[in-house]
Every structure is written in structure tokens, then in C-alpha cells.
Amino acid sequence: MNFDKRGIALGNTPEDLKSRKKFITDFYVQWIISNPTKHIYNKSLKNFIEVKFLSMQETASKAAIRYNSTLAVTFLTEILENATATGLPQTPKKDNQKQKRFSKIHIMEYEKKDFGKIKLTVGELRGSRQKIQYCITAIENDY
């Protein structure tokens, strides 16, 4: 396997995918240690976005598929803080078990200089209306 300077696997083999999942999980563990409140204030939503186990689980399974999405996760704090809503909140997918706990899904984007667009999906919990980071992926960029 080949790795970048951060230790992210560059290839597309099953071993590379497994390595990227582990990288994302390890990154979240370190982020949570550095951010014990586990939330960041988002300027666009004018609310805190919480990072939960679901955040790590969903992002690791989706972002590990592509190198750029794995790299995007390393910008977690600035994404949570600066991503902007791309439209009105959506209704969660009925056939998705993980989204059933949400009343709304906010699709947000963050334009990272010298990287490109990053998609942030935020779920709004039923009842408490707490905003939970659901997934982060890179949007295909021309960089």
C-alpha cells in the first residue's frame, strides 16, 4: 500500500479502504480528545453541531471509499464551523435506519481553499432538535 504524508492510503484495494476507515476512526478519537464538548458552533445554522458515535460511524463508512473524502475529514473543525446550508432542510430517507431518528436533514457545503467543495450532512434529532454531524464527503473537484 502507498500512503500520503498524513498516513492516508492512496489506492483503491480493499486493504486501502480498511486503512482509510481506521484513519478516519482514529482521527475522530483524537478530535474528541481535543474537543471534549464534542460540538462546534456553526455560523449558518446559528447553532451547535454535535459530533456523536453515529458521526464517526457514518463518515468512516462513506468517506473511506475515496481518498479525497478521507482527506476532507481532516478539516472537521473548520467544516463544522463554516459550512453553509445549500437549501431548505430535507426529509430523512424513509428506508435508511440511521436517519429515522432525525426530523430533518440539512445538506451543507464548505469551500476549502486549494481543496474544493466538501459536503456536510447534518441531522436534526426529533424532539430535542439537536444538530448532529451525520456525514462528511468531498464533492468531485477540479483540483
Q: What are phi and psi of 116, to 5 degrees?
A: 120, -160
If one counts the domains in the chain, the total is 1
Q: Is residue 51 part of a domain?
A: yes
Q: Which structural domain, as residue segments, surrounds residue 118? A: 14-138
pLDDT (0 to 100) of residue 49: 98
Q: Is residue 42 part of a domain?
A: yes
What is the four-CA torsion angle of 129, 36, 79, 119, rounded to 10 degrees? -60
Q: pTM of the prediction?
A: 0.92
The answer to whether 128 and 139 have CB atoms below 8 angstroms apart is: no
The neighbour count for residue 97, using CB atoms within 10 Å, is 7
Would you place residue 143 in the very low, low, confident or very high pLDDT band (cuts 50, 70, 90)? very low
Would you place residue 140 in the very low, low, confident or very high pLDDT band (cuts 50, 70, 90)? confident
Q: Is residue 92 part of a domain?
A: yes
**Pick from 25, 99, 143, 65: which is nearest to 107 by CA?**
99
Using one digit for the tens of pLDDT, what is the confidence trace for 62-110? Answer: 999 999 999 999 999 999 999 999 999 999 988 888 898 999 999 999 9
Using one digit for the tens of pLDDT, what is the confidence trace for 12-60? Answer: 999 999 999 999 999 999 999 999 999 999 999 999 999 999 999 999 9
The DSSP symbol for 88 reads S
Q: Is residue 5 part of a domain?
A: no
Q: Is residue 100 part of a domain?
A: yes
Using one digit for the tens of pLDDT, what is the confidence trace for 91-101? Answer: 998 888 889 89
Q: Is residue 102 part of a domain?
A: yes
